[in-house]
């Protein structure tokens, strides 16, 4: 029974991966616009640009619609925009070259910061052995014996 389930799951995964390698989902102007920064200077995506009659937004939307009608996929359309406007047109930088630092450094900073917090919390929670040893060695054993004697007299 479990072998059949494993075969069915494997077949579903194969068909799902083959389906995603095929044409996939047809791009929409919104999906393309969400991946592009409007070039009017507002630093918003093309779909979120709120400038009234923004010429850059209108030009980019027209080009997007034209390329979707030509049957291009989303990756090709975004590459065409990069060729025309440069890498700064992308809403998220590509994970390659120097831009890879944008993707890696926040995670590294988080791990280093968490490590420092753990280090200092452990250091602050540890009792300092030099203080407990110093208190024990500075008291004369005769004084301790006298105090214990007095305590026995009071209690008994």
Per-residue pLDDT of 62-95, as tens digits, reads 999 999 999 999 989 999 999 998 888 988 877 7
Is the pTM value of this prediction over 0.95? no
Cα gap 102→110, rounded to integer Å: 13
Tell me: the pLDDT tens digits for 34-58?
999 999 888 899 989 988 888 898 9
Question: What are the CA-CA distances from residue 152 to residues 69, 136, 156 (Å)?
Answer: 100, 22, 6
- Quote the pLDDT of residue 23: 52
Cα gap 58→62, rounded to integer Å: 6
Tell me: the pLDDT tens digits for 87-130?
889 888 777 777 788 788 899 999 999 999 999 999 888 776 66
């Amino acid at each position: 029974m479990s072998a059949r389930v494993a075969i069915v799951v494997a077949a579903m995964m194969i068909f799902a991966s083959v389906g995603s390698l095929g044409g996939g989902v047809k791009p929409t102007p919104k999906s393309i616009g969400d991946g592009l920064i409007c070039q009017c200077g507002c630093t918003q995506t093309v779909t979120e640009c709120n400038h009234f009659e923004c010429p850059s937004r209108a030009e980019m939307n027209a080009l997007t619609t034209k390329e979707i009608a030509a049957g291009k996929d989303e990756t090709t359309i975004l590459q065409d925009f990069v060729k025309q406007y440069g890498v700064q047109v992308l809403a998220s930088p590509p994970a390659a070259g120097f831009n890879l630092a944008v993707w890696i450094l926040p995670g590294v900073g988080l791990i280093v910061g968490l490590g420092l917090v753990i280090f200092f919390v452990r250091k602050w929670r540890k009792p300092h052995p030099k203080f407990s040893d110093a208190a024990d060695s500075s008291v004369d054993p005769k004084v301790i014996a006298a105090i214990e004697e007095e305590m026995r007299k009071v209690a008994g």
